[in-house]
Structure 1
Amino acid sequence: MAIDPRELRRCLGHFTTGVTVITCQGADGVPHGATVNAFTAVSLEPPLVLVSLDRRSKLCSLVEQSPFTVNVLESEQKDLALHFAGKPNQDVEWLPDSECGAPRLGGALAHVSCTPWQHYDGGDHVLYLGEVQDFVMHDGKPLLFHTGKFHHLGGDHDPLLWGDSADGPSGQAWIQQPAAG
């Protein structure tokens, strides 16, 4: 059976993700970025994350040799996501570079700054592993992406606390309701 790429993309879009902008310095010294929702944690020791970049993108060739930052977008940063998805719409607030030399975006929920560790062929994408050199977190809610649209957590969102994972020291996963009061 032949897989229709458009229908596969539509199906995979049912998996809700966060929204990130991957940033790095270009050879010209100008910061570059691209909106990416294919980002995941890989390892704590060594500290590794993975981003998947379209091999046709300018950023793809830059990340291979340059430190980069994964900027996790906050729920109100939809316009910033669109800006770095090829629809320029605003002036960008650039923060001072991270300790490893990767540019960061203002207002992000988190910054994970990395140096290139390894890359792999991923068909029409390249999978980049970055070794985490620095990270910063801020309070807020994430911008989400589902079925081709941006979303955010509603005010009625009642989070469950994740106690441990199967990969954790206890070897079992469990979910605990938050304590009342």
Structure 2
Amino acid sequence: MAIDPRELRRCLGHFATGVTVITCQGADGTPHGATVNAFTAVSLDPPLVLVSLDRRSRLCALVEQERRPFTVNVLASGQKELALHFAGRPNQDVGWLPDSACGAPRLAGALAHISCTPWQAYDGGDHVLYLGEVQEFLIHDGAPLLFHTGRFHHLGDDHEPVLWGDSADGPAGQSWITGAAVR
């Protein structure tokens, strides 16, 4: 059975994701970025994350060159226009923060910054899968920008966080379900 790529993309779009912009220094030293929703945590020891970049993209070529450090900028709910800007629809001036300790540029207003050095790259068909070793991270308060079925979304006002017992994401290291300290 032949797989129709458009229908497969439509099917895969039913998996809701967060929205990130992956940034690195361009060849001329200016920051460059691309909107990416294919991002995931991989390992805590060593600290690794994975991003999937279209192999035809300028960002993929830049990360490949000289194993450039990159930052995963997790976008906040109010950053839809920024996501569109880095998805090829330039629409605003971009607020940049000072580069991370490893030299990767960061975006102002993001919920989280995860700055990495390339660990390994793998063939992923029309994409390249990059494992990045986390060198530095920052966390900020706010709600995430979400992507589902080709559209941006945000958590509704009636959203009540419920995390499983092993989560360390609760306030002050507390599990939201059990209230027990998480180690």
- Between Structure 1 and Structure 2, the one with more strand by share is 1
Deviations 1:107-148 (A, max 9, x none): 000000000100000000000000000000000000000000
Q: Shift in Å at residue 27 of structure 1?
A: 1.4
Paired position in structure 2 for 1:176: 177
CA contact (8 A) 1:161 1:177 kept: no
Distance across 2 between alignment mates of 1:92 and 1:121: 31
Q: Secondary structure at the match of 2:164?
A: strand
Paired position in structure 2 for 1:171: none
Pairs within 5 Å for 1:38-117: 38-64=38-64, 65-117=67-119
Distance across 2 between alignment mates of 1:117 and 1:140: 30
Distance across 2 between alignment mates of 1:87 and 1:58: 15
CA contact (8 A) 2:165 2:178 kept: no
CA contact (8 A) 1:120 1:128 kept: yes
CA contact (8 A) 1:74 1:142 kept: yes
Q: Shift in Å at residue 164 of structure 1?
A: 1.3
State the Cα RMSD in Å. 1.5
Kindly tell me the number of residue pairs found equivalent between the two proteins.
Answer: 170
Distance across 2 between alignment mates of 1:66 and 1:93: 21
Name the aligned partner's letter for residue 36 of structure 1.
Answer: V
| CA spacing shift, 1:2–1:81, aligned 2, 3 Å | same
Distance across 1 between alignment mates of 2:78 and 2:91: 15
TM-score, normalized by length of structure 2?
0.90
Distance across 2 between alignment mates of 1:28 and 1:96: 17
TM-score, normalized by length of structure 1?
0.91
Q: Percent identical across equivalent pairs? A: 83
Q: Shift in Å at residue 161 of structure 1?
A: 2.0
Q: Secondary structure at the match of 2:83?
A: helix
Q: Where do 4+ consecutive residues of structure 1 move more than 4 Å?
A: none
Distance across 2 between alignment mates of 1:75 and 1:112: 18
Mind listing any 5+ residue stretches in structure 1 that lack a counterpart?
166-173
Which of 125, 128, 134 is residue 127 of structure 2 equivalent to?
Answer: 125
